[in-house]
Structure 1
Amino acid sequence: MIERRITFTLENEGLPAWKLNRLKTLAGYFRSVVVIHNISQLSMANAEQAMRVMSLGSMPGDLCQLMIEGSDAELACMVLTDFVSEHCDLICTGHRHLSQREEKASIVLPFDYALSHLPQLSQFTVSSQDKVDVLTQISRQCAPNQPDKANSLLEQLQAREAVSSTAMGNGVALPHILTPDVEVPTLVLAPLEQPIEWGSQRGPVSCVIGLALPAPPKREYLLAFSSFSKRLLEPDFCQLLTENRRPEVLRAVVLDSLSLPFR
């Protein structure tokens, strides 16, 4: 079965009835199931059931995703991408890469930050060194071309893991530190091709998100990252992180969760 996804944020008017009716009509043309997932609200409904979609409580700025599955999902994705790009802020579509001009959506935070994405890590085998290898790559990404600082960050990350595993469950780990070695909140998204053990009874992880917060942290940082860590307790949210491997989508999911306290 073919599956495609379209990720976008809602514009100022959200999802008014006329947009929902148009989406329902378009979805009905194809031999595919089209589900709209409001990621910000962690709720979903079949796109052909307009009343159910209205019950999602979608608001302007919400991050959403159309999930299309069926024999003609590729064609449906092409048509629905045109609809989404016309009426919403398109982030990512499953049938083609966006041009720089088309990548117009941005999720704004009230502070500066650094967010990067490691290529999907595939060179690891299940061994006692896997966790160290991932933490090493994250620390280098946090301090590119600064080996001394990267080594310091690695030591701090390992010291944190020695206290207790940062595996959150549901396939996600959040190695995190407070450190004077960074000037702004720094995140590294590291999806894994194969799950690895993270030293926890909560099971292996397939998505690692490294986080270094400046010390002492500002109030805005604490609000944003407390919101994010709470979302990681939700299995549906963790599934978004482990299933969506495209950098644009992972970035949007993380930034959306960080922005929720400031809306």
Structure 2
Amino acid sequence: MIIERRITFTLDDEGLPAWKLNRLKTLAGYFRSVVVIHNISQLRMANVEQAMRMISLGCMPGDLCQLMIEGSDAELACMVLTDFVTEHCHLVCTGHRHLSQREAKAEIALPFAYELSQLLPLSQLGASSLDKDGVLTQISRQCAPGQSDKAARLLEQMQAREAVSSTAMGNGIALPHILTPDVEVPVVVLAPLVQPVEWGAKRGPVSCVVGLVLPAPPLREYLLAFSSFSKRLLEPDFCQLLTEHSRPEVLKAVVLDSLSLPFR
């Protein structure tokens, strides 16, 4: 039976020097499973058995990476490689167990305050499914918890933006976004969808929605960060990261990593 496991982490100030790469290659060689390292920040990947490909990843301090492990003994390999990552990098999450807040050391910093959350599961929202308006409604409410008037204003502004043109970006992603004086810091709501939703565009249905509310007028840092994120959405490989991962800590890390790229 083929098992799949993932280990997500950020690199420390050393990055991935040759001695770490060699150690990773040695550990992976103990198992029958195939181990691939994916540098998410650089959108490059390589089998850990291929030394030159590993070097070509261009890993830099702070890069977000993921070990993808597939094979009959992937669970055991994941346990061993998690120990390696914990010792030499900053662990975000691992596929063989959930981390406590104390264990999850990785924190990708941005040079400004922000709010980032993930949409609650349908069971907690009291719904069996959501259409486009339903998703926008829930995003607006999450941007203004307990403030029905403010949430209603945000929803109205989002719907007005959608009336201009659909915010479907292609590759299964929608990016509803507004500038408004109703918020003081950028607010991001991640909404991975159980069932794809039609978003009023020829680019097809979406399976992950990223709601973005920026203060008006926006600071230069906000524009740099979110312009970087929107450009990444033009990369199919990056969009796949958002649509195939539902674990909140991975989605959060992927989004924050893309926002932080202009400031490294």
Aligned to 2:192: 191
Q: How far 1:118 sits from its partner (Å)?
A: 1.3
Q: Kindly tell me: are residues 239 and 120 of structure 1, through their superposed partners in 2, closer, same or farther at Cα, counting changes over 3 Å? A: farther
Aligned to 1:158: 159
1:107-164 Cα deviation digits (max 9, x unpaired) = 0000000001113447455xxx700000000000000000000000000000000110
Q: How far 1:215 sits from its partner (Å)?
A: 0.3
Matched, 1:201 2:207: no
Aligned to 1:57: 58
For residues 173 and 120 of structure 2, the distance between their equivalents in structure 1, rounded to whole angstroms, comes to 17
For residues 121 and 7 of structure 1, the distance between their equivalents in structure 2, rounded to whole angstroms, comes to 26
1:147-187 Cα deviation digits (max 9, x unpaired) = 00000000000000011010000011000000011000000
Aligned to 2:28: 27
Aligned to 1:108: 109
Matched, 1:258 2:222: no
Q: Could you tell me whether the CA contact under 8 Å between 1:5 and 1:66 is conserved in 2?
A: yes
Aligned to 1:81: 82
Please list every run of 5 or more consecutive structure 1 residues that lacks an aligned counterpart in the other structure.
none
SS in 2 for 1:203: coil
Q: Which amino acid aligns with 1:19?
A: K
Q: Which amino acid aligns with 2:110?
A: L
SS in 2 for 1:228: helix
1:179-211 Cα deviation digits (max 9, x unpaired) = 011000000001001111111100110000000
For residues 119 and 11 of structure 1, the distance between their equivalents in structure 2, rounded to whole angstroms, comes to 32
SS in 1 for 2:237: helix
For residues 56 and 209 of structure 1, the distance between their equivalents in structure 2, rounded to whole angstroms, comes to 28
Aligned to 2:137: 136
Aligned to 2:233: 232
Matched, 1:41 2:42: yes
Aligned to 2:172: 171
Q: Could you tell me whether the CA contact under 8 Å between 1:107 and 1:252 is conserved in 2?
A: yes
Using structure 1 for the length normalisation, give the TM-score.
Answer: 0.97
Using structure 2 for the length normalisation, give the TM-score.
Answer: 0.96
SS in 1 for 2:77: helix
For residues 173 and 29 of structure 1, the distance between their equivalents in structure 2, rounded to whole angstroms, comes to 42
For residues 121 and 242 of structure 2, the distance between their equivalents in structure 1, rounded to whole angstroms, comes to 13
For residues 102 and 217 of structure 2, the distance between their equivalents in structure 1, rounded to whole angstroms, comes to 38
For residues 100 and 170 of structure 1, the distance between their equivalents in structure 2, rounded to whole angstroms, comes to 32
For residues 195 and 113 of structure 1, the distance between their equivalents in structure 2, rounded to whole angstroms, comes to 28
Aligned to 1:5: 6
Q: Number of residues paired by the alignment?
A: 260
RMSD: 1.1
Q: Alignment identity in percent?
A: 83
Q: Could you tell me whether the CA contact under 8 Å between 1:194 and 1:206 is conserved in 2?
A: yes
Q: How far 1:47 sits from its partner (Å)?
A: 1.0
Q: Could you tell me whether the CA contact under 8 Å between 1:121 and 1:192 is conserved in 2?
A: no
